Amino acid sequence: MSDQTQADKNKFDNLKKKLEDQATVEVTKLWSKNTVTLDNLSKIMEAGHKEFTEKTGRQMTYSEMREMYG
């Protein structure tokens, strides 16, 4: 694998990890406030999807969504 390809893969993996970690923090906040609802969870995933699209220039795949958000 070329250095550029490896760097791109690392950048992509770091983005996915960042989005997953942000979602975990947000869900933890919802749990602590006892405000876990489908709407609130959907908003967290939508925000992550939007950032993913902005940073990668493409839509998140179903597999990527499952990987990050379970």
pTM attached to this predicted model: 0.86
R_g over Cα of the chain: 14
Count of beta carbons in the 10 Å neighbourhood of residue 52: 21
The angle at the Cα of 42, spanning 38 to 46, to the nearest 5 degrees, equals: 175
Count of beta carbons in the 10 Å neighbourhood of residue 44: 19
- The confidence score (pLDDT) of residue 1 equals 66
- The confidence score (pLDDT) of residue 3 equals 74
- The total number of structural domains in the chain stands at 1
Domain span at 7 = 3-69
Per-residue pLDDT of the chain (70 residues; tens, 9 = 90+): 677 798 889 999 999 999 999 999 999 999 999 999 999 999 999 999 999 999 999 999 999 999 999 8
- The confidence score (pLDDT) of residue 70 equals 86
**Residue 42 CB partners (closer than 8 Å, separation 6+):** none
